A and B are shown apart, each in its own frame.
Chain A
Amino acid sequence: MTSGLRSSTTHTDVEAIVVGAGGAGLWAALELAREGIPTAVLTKLYPTRSHTGAAQGGVCAALGNVEEDHWEWHMFDTIKGGDYLADQDAAEVLAREAIPAVIELERMGLPFNRTPDGKIDQRRFGGHTRNFGEGPVRRSCYAADRTGHMILQTLYQQCIKAGVKFYDEYHVVDLVFEGGEANQGGRCSGVVGYKISDGTLHVIRAKAVLLATGGYGRAWRVTSNAHSLTGDGMSLAWRHGVPLQDMEFYQFHPTGIVGIGILLSEAARGEGGYLLNDSGTRFMETYAPKLMELAPRDMISRAIYQEVRAGRGIGGRDYIHLDVRHLGRKVIEEKLPDITDFARVYQGVEPISEPVPVQPTAHYAMGGVPTNLETEVLADARGTVVPGLFAAGEVACVSVHGANRLGTNSLVDLLVFGKRAGIRMAQICKSTSQPGSIQGAERAVRDELLELSTRPTGVRPAEIRRELAALMMDNVGVYRDEALLGAAVKRITALKLEYANVRVEDTGSVFNTDLLEARELGYLLDTAEATAVSAYARKESRGAHSREDFPERDDAKFLAHTLVWRGTEGAAASTIDYKPVTITKFEPKPRVY
């Protein structure tokens, strides 16, 4: 019988491995190349297909090019935006190092929009303020509304220039450890890659492995995320004993295209767009009178739900309007061309003359694989480092975003910490020796993949995926309570059992996307479980985690990061621990805008 696998396995030695070729992975690879470290970058796509390229609005850095700004203000906004759950030492690194990172990108060739005097232009963005909350500030550096595209292109171009070795369309299906799993003092010593074009397994050994695999938005039905965002890195680490941190904090972006979730950037509001309810009222007046449409995303998403619940959605339905008509054709076409195109193509709406229907869409994981400031993965609440394993970008939780991420800070995060990852990994590569042989390390995952691809009967992966996505939308969405979350945990546990019977129809070994989608569904189930379990345990409301049964923030009990470990097969994760938030400059205060 044929299967999705070929029997041959290749073995390769490098010093560093980067898994994922979005912004964080590419910058790390660039730093490693600068230090002359032999590196392999594995991506299940081509690098230019990575989801960093979908980011639209900009990247914040307190350059002060168009008005006064300071990194301390950016740091404060990040912490307040995150409802005081961000580690303040990490937020400080983010805000300080954003400035040289953006300058370096310009020097690499990124075509930023310019001010009349030729500097990098900057515009407003949600939650970014002057003088600790006084009003909006122009902090977001941008290249029209395709900033992420230009970041991805620029970093990939520089990697080509530096001769970085890419393994395009290699799906990493396992991490290799020696001396035990991550929670037993083990060291990460390599990865197992699956070459999509021919179904062969590739065992690659290295001293340092970076997870830069992005998020898991595909766990929800309405999402802005690419099909490829299935939580691979988080799940693989979790399976090897690494805890996941703050998974209950998942951001819903307020302005997704109704039904399909494609994002209409916050840049539309940064340029002055309005949010209107059925009676044409700018309803943010009620919820955030100072910042209005530029309030943080979690607050606006909740406001939209409140308006819809009160019957003030458009025509009584579950969406509201984003209105940019008053900005005029020139601004709309020159500064917001991509999102104008999205509205035209996907909704048949002309933003120059019509308001655009929008609703919240699952967008970004604040949580993920816990790391320290050097991007080293942590095994527990005490901060024990997992040797050889690193994480940066959305897959990681440093934590800079706390309970809610501000707009543009995802790009800032992947630039600053992608760079730090490369620098730290290069140091580690120079100061440690190669791990022992990892011959045969592919056996476990080979058996799993063989079993998955030769099961004669069973359910289609799509059926489970659809049910999971609907469940996450209904029960683990913008508003939550004990009953919804309890039911979600129970149902996800049951879906995981059903997953054991999933059947792959494609029995070939060439480009078997059926097999890979089934594998990815396993990752989604893991990350969904970690999210629901962590959300169930956090009996307060903070940032993006809104419990209707516990509507207040509870600093006495929950000013802490959640850590959750994976359970044994067939049982929901039940081991949870909390670790304190690092507070340096800003004492927690009520969060009003």
Chain B
Amino acid sequence: MTSNGSVELKIQRFDPERDAAPHWQTFTVPVEPMDRVLDLLTRAKELFDGSITFRRSCAHGVCGSDALLINGRNRLACKLRVEQLGKSVTVAPLPGLPIVKDLVVDMDGFFDKYRSVQPYLVASPVEGSGERLQSQEQRDRFDDTTKCILCAACTTSCPSFWAEPEYVGPAAIVNAHRFIFDSRDENAEARLDILSDEDGVWRCRTTFNCVEACPRGINITKAILEVSSAISAQE
């Protein structure tokens, strides 16, 4: 592969054992034609500074480890090609979550919110040895929200979440939607009750940031509106 020259990679650094506050550091990193931002981060770590810290695993957009704030937008570092960004790439941790070190944020609160919506099928036992039947139309009803990889790009792009960190957030609502609209589930009412709380769906201001941020192309705002409608219908 021929070299494409180099790019300026600006990384937000923070080492809790040394630094009082985050600061920026810039590296000039050689770049190859099909490089993604994750490749740049990896190369900077390998060539210049082994202490540069970020999460990554699958490296092709299905595990959700490397959602980051890249040139001002939440995106997966492994799905974003460097050539789409030009010669200067700025990488910071996802906004609104506590920083652990460099680009790593504390995800525990995010996962607590996910777990709070009872994200699992609740259904009566089935007779016999076969599967439950579900029509293709019933299956399609919640297809979009099954795609979520819990990367947190949506929740941490949401102004309502920044303003009110107790807001359950788009990702948790997406995962509630996935069960509320599954014809096999019998627990919709409980989830709708949870989400009608003051920190539930009503905090959504339909700014569509979440839709912009989702690396899986989920129409998140639509899902949130469907959940709010279901709550209204219930009341």
Contact = CB atoms under 8 A, between A and B. Distances in A.
Interface stretch (A115-123, A183-191, A247-255, A313-321): A115-123
Given A109-B121, A226-B57, A120 B131 contact: yes
A505 B49 contact: yes
Given A117-B133, A260-B34, A514 B50 contact: yes
Contacts of A513: 53-54
Contacts of A461: 50
A586 interface: no
Interface in B58-113: 58-65, 79, 81, 100-102, 104, 106-108, 111
Interface in A1-54: 2, 45-46, 48-51, 53-54
A505 B179 CA distance: 46
A342 B60 contact: yes
A347 B100 CA distance: 34
Contacts of A589: none
Given A45-B57, A511-B100, A107 B132 contact: yes
A132 interface: no
Interface in B113-165: 115, 118-123, 126, 129-136, 139, 142-143, 146-147, 149-150
Interface of A: 2, 45-46, 48-51, 53-54, 100, 102-103, 106-109, 111-114, 116-120, 143-144, 146, 149-150, 153-154, 157-158, 160-161, 168, 197, 226-228, 259-260, 262, 338, 341-342, 345-348, 460-462, 504-514
Given A103-B131, A111-B182, A114-B135, A226 B53 contact: no
B29 to A, nearest CB: 14
A228 B57 contact: yes
Contacts of B46: 460, 462
Contacts of A109: 120-121, 123, 179, 182, 184-185
A413 B150 CA distance: 26
B50 to A, nearest CB: 3
A113 B132 contact: no
Contacts of B199: none
B17 interface: yes
Interface of B: 1, 15-18, 34, 36, 45-46, 49-51, 53-54, 56-65, 79, 81, 100-102, 104, 106-108, 111, 115, 118-123, 126, 129-136, 139, 142-143, 146-147, 149-150, 179, 182, 184-185
Contacts of B53: 506, 511-514
Contact of B58 (A54, A161, A168): A54
Contacts of B133: 117-119
Nearest to B59: A227
Closest 7 CB pairs of A and B: A109-B121, A505-B50, A118-B133, A506-B51, A157-B120, A462-B46, A514-B50
A259 B49 contact: no
Contacts of A106: 131-132
A51 B58 contact: yes
B56 A227 contact: yes
Contacts of B61: 341-342, 345
Contacts of A506: 50-51, 53
A161 B120 contact: yes
A114 B65 contact: no
B161 to A, nearest CB: 19
Contacts of A347: 34
A227 B108 CA distance: 22
Contacts of B102: 511
Nearest to B178: A111
B199 to A, nearest CB: 20
Contacts of A507: 51
Contact of B107 (A46, A111, A505): A46
B17 to A, nearest CB: 5
Nearest to B139: A114
A156 to B, nearest CB: 9
Contacts, number: 159
A168 B104 CA distance: 14
5 contacts: A51-B58, A158-B121, A226-B63, A508-B101, A510-B101
B207 to A, nearest CB: 25
B131 A53 contact: no
A111 B62 contact: no
Nearest to A224: B60
Given A144-B143, A461-B50, 19 more contacts: A45-B57, A45-B63, A46-B150, A49-B58, A49-B63, A109-B184, A113-B136, A118-B134, A157-B119, A157-B120, A158-B121, A227-B56, A345-B61, A346-B60, A348-B34, A510-B16, A510-B17, A513-B53, A514-B50
A508 B51 contact: yes
A505 B132 contact: no
Nearest to A225: B58
Contacts of A508: 15, 17-18, 51, 101
B71 to A, nearest CB: 17
A168 B54 CA distance: 16
A523 B232 CA distance: 55
B134 A114 contact: yes
B126 to A, nearest CB: 6
Nearest to A116: B136
B175 to A, nearest CB: 9
Given A113-B139, A511-B53, A259 B34 contact: yes
A460 B34 contact: no
Contacts of A345: 61, 79, 81
A49 B101 contact: no
A392 to B, nearest CB: 20
B63 A51 contact: yes
Nearest to A65: B131
B126 A107 contact: yes
B149 A48 contact: yes
B17 A505 contact: no
A511 B121 contact: no
B58 A226 contact: yes
A403 to B, nearest CB: 27
B100 A53 contact: no
Contacts of B107: 46
Contacts of B65: 45-46, 49
A457 B185 CA distance: 59
Given A345-B79, A511-B104, A46 B111 contact: yes
B111 to A, nearest CB: 7
A514 B134 contact: no
Nearest to B76: A345
Given A107-B131, A109-B123, A53 B50 contact: no
